[in-house]
Amino acid sequence: MLRVTLRGAGIPTVVLGSGDTLLMGRSPDAALPADDSAVNVTALALPHVAPHVSRLGGEVSVGEEVVRLRWHASTPAQLSSLFDAPGGARRVSLSEGMSALLDEGENQLLIYRGRQTGSGAFVDLVVTLDVEAVQDDAEHVAWTGIPLPAGDDDATAAAPQLERWSREWYVALALTEPWLSGADDYPRPPSNREIYERVLAWRGHAWNLERAQRVDDAIRSVARLAFGPADDPFTSTEGRVQNLRFAVARRIAEIGLVTMTDLQAVLVAQARGNGIRPESTHE
């Protein structure tokens, strides 16, 4: 049999056994079965969760031999775990509709920008899931620790995003293009000059991005939005800006600040000879 222990900063400790299912998110109560047929299904409203996190985020199902995590949210997340393999850590990017098996031992679910701080900033929310095999789990306790927080019935808000067609949006798109187009083995992140030339080719006009400092300023602005003030790599990590761009570009792609759909829209506009959106005022 299996036992799963869920914990995290400010999160009530949850212990699940084989046959149990846990629903978690901002307000997962609505996803509970209407009848009493599924007596082993429980909901956990994560505390201090950001308003843009989906009501139902993850569903943890504990079987006799495997534990499965199904991700129901539009909010992006990452599952990581350690297991006995040459590669070491496993990291899986989760999007809506995906499912993954948890490894025995410690698994971490990271919900990007999923927790709202007292100052109103957004930081990543980390949920730890420990999986262990046990001989007899008949006495496992469904809930331990502090009481469950009340669910949030408000509609899911939009996550903080870049303004489409803005200068920062174009810079983020140019910086992240290798990751979006599948060329993430690119030997280095695009330089300031390459970013300027890409924006110029797409749009026909590149503001003042021919000045390298303006590109740096735009990337720093995007990084603050992508990571949040507390985890901004330009202020919390020492190192050359060029090296930090790998982390910024990967983060932009992971949380969907710009997407392949955005890149396709720009390329279509470029092919039509109208890289600037007709109603755009960002000149």
Domain match, 194 and 128 both: no
**Average pLDDT value for the chain:** 84
10 and 128 together in one domain = yes
Domain around 248: 167-271
- Express each pLDDT in 63-96 by its tens digit: 999 999 999 999 999 999 866 544 556 788 999 9
Task: Compute the distance between CA of residue 152 and CA of residue 132 in angstroms, rounded to an integer.
Answer: 32
Q: Which residue has the tokens 């410690």?
A: 106
The residue type at 131: V
pTM as predicted: 0.77
User: Do the beta carbons of residue 50 and residue 122 sit within 8 Å?
Assistant: yes
Give bridge partners of residue 130 from the DSSP assignment. Answer: 5, 106
Instruction: Tell me which residue of 159, 93, 150 sits closest to 122, measured CA to CA.
Output: 159
Which of 75, 109, 133 lies at the terminal end of a domain, its last residue? 133
User: Dihedral of the CA atoms 79, 254, 54, 104 (nearest 10)?
Assistant: 0
Each residue's pLDDT tens digit, 91-127: 889 999 999 999 899 999 999 999 998 888 899 999 9
DSSP letter string, 33-44 = -SSSS-TTEEEE
Same domain? 125 vs 189 = no
